Amino acid sequence: MILGIPDPWVLSGFLLTILATLLCVIYGIINWNKGDEDENYLE
Amino acid sequence: MDLLILSIVFIVYFLLVGYVGYLAWKKTKSSEDFMLAGRKTHPYIMALSYGATFISTAAIVGFGGVSGQFGLGLLWLVFLNIFVGIFLAFIVLGKRTRRMGQNLESLTFPEFLSRRFQSKFIQYFSGLIIFLGMPIYASVVLIGAARFMETSLFINFHLSLIILSLVVSAYVIFGGIKGVMYTEAVQGTIMFVGMIFLLVFTYWILGGIESSHMALTNLAPHFPASAQALGGTGWTTFPTLGSDIWWYLVSTIIVGVGIGVLAQPQLIVRFMTVKSDKELNRAVLMGGLFIFVIVGTSYIVGALSNLYFFDTLGKVGVDVVGGNIDKIIPTFISSALPEWFVYIFLLTLLAAAMSTLSSQYLAQGTSLGRDIYQTLKKKKDVGSVKLTRIGILIAVVLAFILSLILPISVVAQGTALFYGICAAAFLSVYVCALFWKRATREGAIAGIVSGTVVSLFWLLFMFKKTAIGLGVCKFLTGQAILVTTMPWPAVDALLIAVPISLIFTVIVSLLTKPMAEEHIDKCYNGIGSTSNNLIKTNENINKDH
């Protein structure tokens, strides 16, 4: 039993929640300074 | 708990919110400022404002209680909220929405759809859906917050309604979206700090992550018989496939709320408040963490509270609160956590309610002022802010009146009703607007109208929870719902109406003339590759016909 949760469905819900959060964090860090290259025409 | 300390905490909070609202008012000059914060919002403010709007008190206390009753299977909803509601929403939909919204100079979500499809009808019809659908959702939140002030501060329910309406309307009417977003960032920060402490503290007193889960697994023989009868099997195991609870979990919560959130106008409009994709990239990080901490905590704590209750009182959560699962989280907090945290948590709940409420008022105000009135009267930008302010005032009064007169059975369905209609009306058309250049004005109109009609029909006549709660079906036909064979009464409106709306959008679009190439190029300026390839393909298709 992993993390004290016997049911694979509930366990995957738990792990996916953490993975999805990590995905957001890692994506944010990698792209922290990207995405404003072509916005100068607004100024 | 000391009422005096709590009152001081609340007064300090109200002053802080008032001050931030004042700052926003000072910085609001144009209608673009009022509705889109001048498109220059800081990613932290955008992310927390998005999260705080998304998560109301009901999500913390209500779903936390559901998790206390049925267990951690509910975490799938947290996963979907983060992955779909934040990650996909920001990166896949948000970036395009921001760029296209800027290309089309639209200030509201209905205006965005209307300019994309060059149809005034779409603007006022969408505005109407929001303006008419949202008051009941807003009154749900308002009633929740007022009841909560009543029980925690012992302020009369009606007086609580008045105080909340006045405070929230003040900063929404004067500060516009800046007022809403700045205060939401403050409220979101309070929520974040409060919930992170709750999560860590709960795992700590119960002996850590793995051993507390294990203990919860071992508590399964005490899983309430009422939940077992509906198909529940334990707090760390999924309900029986196809049982009532299984459908409830999978259909209503996971699909309805997890995906329904993509089509919320008050959330979509936030993508247009930032300057570039960079802000959205940064906001993904903060938004993902925020939802994890707020929603994840309340669901995990809701389920784990059973352990604490069983150890101290010999009963599980549902029995401790006498079946009223909304009380599981508050009861756990007042009995298990240090007293000072009770103040923080009460503030967290109030902040969650106020942040959701303020966005609802603003969305309704812009719908009435800009999308309905201005579009029908064919007025240009003149007086947009003033009209929106009047719209907000009407929204505040409407929610207040509904809070006084609506029966509780109707109120309980308010959120599902609004989410259902919004998702059905807007989701497919919104996605087509962003990704399918061949979508036409007629297709979009067909999609929005069919989605609205089908979802209304399903919510009023087919879906058991809402149909019985609202009582329209009973009134018209004498039966509580039209079809009683499973699974139909348990299937969420969204599962039926969104595909139908998509089919209408696609088929009608293919049957009608593509939109002008010039217009499509303008919409998609700066998005992906140029539209030439697709339009050329479409020309070939038309020639073939």
Query: What pLDDT sits at residue B381?
Result: 60
Q: Are B449 and B519 in contact (CB under 8 A)?
A: no
Domain boundary among B385, B406, B427: B406
Q: What is the nearest CA distance from A43 to chain B, expressed in angstroms? A: 10
Chain B residue numbers with beta carbons less than 8 Å from the beta carbon of A40 are none
Which among A5, A25, A33 has CB closest to B213? A5
Chain A residue numbers with beta carbons less than 8 Å from the beta carbon of B212 are 4
Segment 1-43 of chain A within 8 Å of chain B by CB: 1, 3-7, 9-10, 13-14, 16-18, 20-21, 23-25, 27-29, 31-36, 38-39, 42
Chain A residue numbers with beta carbons less than 8 Å from the beta carbon of B71 are 10
Q: Give this prediction's pTM.
A: 0.89
* CATH number for B232: 1.20.1730.10
Q: What is the pLDDT of residues B284-293, one digit of tens each?
A: 999 999 999 9
CB contact under 8 A, B237 and A32: no
Chain A residue numbers with beta carbons less than 8 Å from the beta carbon of B46 are none
| B519 inside domain | no
Q: What is the nearest CA distance from A7 to chain B, expressed in angstroms? A: 5
Query: What pLDDT sits at residue B543?
Result: 46
Are B425 and B397 part of one and the same domain?
no
B68 vs B14: CA distance, rounded Å:
31
CB contact under 8 A, A14 and B72: yes
Q: Classify B240 as helix, strand or coil.
A: coil
CB contact under 8 A, B276 and A24: no
| B208 inside domain | yes
Are B428 and B379 part of one and the same domain?
no
Cis ω on the peptide bond leading into residue B487 (within 30° of 0)?
yes
Q: What is the nearest CA distance from B160 to chain A, expressed in angstroms? A: 36
Which among B76, B82, B95 has CB closest to A24? B82
End-to-end CA distance of chain A: 57
CB contact under 8 A, B288 and A21: yes
Q: What is the pLDDT of residues A19-41, one digit of tens each?
A: 999 999 999 999 999 988 765 44
CB contact under 8 A, A5 and B289: no
Concatenating the DSSP letter of every residue in B22-58 gives: HHHHHT--SHHHHHHGGG---HHHHHHHHHHHH--HI
Q: Are B287 and B50 in contact (CB under 8 A)?
A: yes
Can you tell me which residue has the tokens 């709306």?
A: B501
Other Cβ atoms within 10 Å of B221 Cβ, number: 6
Which stretches in chain B have pLDDT values below 70?
A: 252-254, 256-257, 379-382, 412, 529-545
Domain, as residue range, for B468: 413-512
Are B127 and B210 part of one and the same domain?
yes
B135 vs B365: CA distance, rounded Å:
11
Are B321 and B424 part of one and the same domain?
no
Chain A residue numbers with beta carbons less than 8 Å from the beta carbon of B292 are 17-18, 20-21
Specify the number of domains making up chain B.
2
| B524 inside domain | no
Query: What pLDDT sits at residue B105?
Result: 93
Are B503 and B395 part of one and the same domain?
no
Are B60 and B165 part of one and the same domain?
yes
| B155 inside domain | yes
B300 vs B303: CA distance, rounded Å:
5
Token pair listed for B348: 């967290």
For B130, residues 6+ apart whose C-beta sits below 8 A from its C-beta are: B109, B110, B265, B363, B364, B367, B371, B422
Are B274 and B305 part of one and the same domain?
yes
| B497 inside domain | yes
Chain B residue numbers with beta carbons less than 8 Å from the beta carbon of A3 are 209-210, 213
Token pair listed for A12: 């995957």
Are B433 and B361 part of one and the same domain?
no
| B528 inside domain | no
Amino acid occupying residue A30: I
Are B435 and B400 part of one and the same domain?
no
Query: What pLDDT sits at residue B539?
Result: 47
Which among B74, B213, B288 has CB closest to A3? B213
Write the Ramachandran bin of B504: left for phi over 0, alpha for psi from -120 to 50, otherwise beta: alpha
Other Cβ atoms within 10 Å of B229 Cβ, number: 11
Are B175 and B269 part of one and the same domain?
yes
Query: What pLDDT sits at residue B232?
Result: 86
Are B202 and B66 part of one and the same domain?
yes
Are B473 and B490 part of one and the same domain?
yes
Q: Is the ipTM of this complex over 0.90?
A: yes
